Amino acid sequence: MVDRIAHPFVRPELLAQALTHRSAGAPHNERLEFLGDALVNLFAAEALYARWPRADEGALTRARAELVRESALAPIGRELELGERLTLGPGEMKSGGHRRDSILADAVEAVVAAIYLDAGFEACRAVVLPWFTAAMDALPPPHKVGKDAKTRLQEWLQGRQKPLPVYELIAENGEDHAKTFRVSCTLAAPALVTEGEGNSRRSAEQAAAEAALAAIAAP
C-alpha cells in the first residue's frame, strides 16, 4: 500500500482514517475527504494553468472538472489498490462497496488530505500530481474540452448578467451502501427551481442543472 501511494507515513493513523468509510464508524474519512477535495482541485488547476498557457478560464475550468470528477478519481483509487484496504461496515462489505466509484473517489481525496497533514503541501503535491498524469495527457485540446451541465448553466446566466444558481441538498435517502441524493437548483432570473437526483451530491447537482437548462431552453 505504501509503495503504491509512494509516501511513507510518519503518522500512519492518518492513512487508516482516510481508508475508513463512515459505515464502519468513527473516526471515518469524511472530514479528510472535504480537505482532499480542495487540494485535488488546486493541484489540478495549477497543473492545467502551467500546461495550457493560452487557455481561457472556461477551458481550464472544464478541464479541471474532467480531472476531479468521480469517474476520473475512481480509477486512480483502483490503481492505488485502495479498495482492498478500505475499512467498511457490514452492509458496504456485502454490497461490494470496495468496488464502488463513489467510495473509491472519496478515498482518493481522503488519502490526499492525509498526505498533506502528514507531510505538508509541497510533499503532498509531489506525490499526488503523478497520479493525474495519464488523465491530463488524455485530455483533448483546450477548445474541445466538453462542458458539463453546471458549467453550461453558469455560462448561460453570466452571458446575460443574471445571478448564478444556488444548489441545495434537499434529501438524502437509503442505506450507506446505496444512498441517493436530491438537490434543488434555484435561479433568480428567470425565476425557476428544478431538482435532480443521483448517487452522489455532485451527480444530483448536474441533473438539477440539466433540468434547468432544459426549462430555460423550452419555447
Residue 45 pLDDT more than 60?
yes
Tens of pLDDT, residues 52-88: 999 999 889 889 988 998 888 999 999 999 988 998 8
Q: Hey, where are the domains in the chain? A: 2-144, 149-217
Closest by CA to 205, choosing from 185, 176, 179, 180, is: 185
Show which residues are catalytic.
Answer: 37, 109
Instruction: With residue 124 as reference, give the H or E element that holds it.
Output: helix 121-128
pTM for this predicted structure: 0.67
Instruction: Output the CA–CA distances (angstroms, integers) from residue 107 to 5, 23, 77, 98, in the order listed.
Output: 12, 13, 7, 10
Q: Is 196 or 91 the better-scoring residue by pLDDT?
A: 196
CATH T-level fold of 2-144: Ribonuclease iii, N-terminal Endonuclease Domain; Chain A (1.10.1520)
Query: pLDDT class for 179, splitting at 50, 70, 90?
Result: confident
- pLDDT band for position 4 (cuts 50, 70, 90): confident
Q: How far is CA 15 from the centre of its chain?
A: 19
- Listed in order, strand segments (DSSP E) in the chain are 166-173, 180-187, 192-198
pLDDT per residue over 136-161, tens digit each? 988 888 876 767 789 889 989 999 99
Is 106 within any annotated ligand binding site? yes
* pLDDT tens-digit map of 101-144: 889 999 999 999 999 999 999 999 999 999 999 999 888 888 76
What is the pLDDT at residue 1? 41
- Dig out the grid coordinates for 161 from the structure: 448578467
Is 33 annotated as contributing to ligand binding?
yes
**Distance from C-alpha of 101 to C-alpha of 20, rounded to nearest angstrom:** 15
Give the length of the chain.
219
Average pLDDT, the chain: 90
Considering the four listed CATH numbers 3.30.160.20, 3.40.50.10680, 3.30.1050.10, 3.30.70.20, the one that applies to the domain covering 149-217 is: 3.30.160.20
Contact 194, 184 (CB under 8 A): yes
Kindly list the strands in the beta sheet with 166-173, ordered across the sheet, starting from the edge strand earlier in the chain.
166-173, 180-187, 192-198
Q: Is 101 annotated for ligand binding?
A: no
Q: How far apart are CA 117 and CA 122, in angstroms?
A: 11
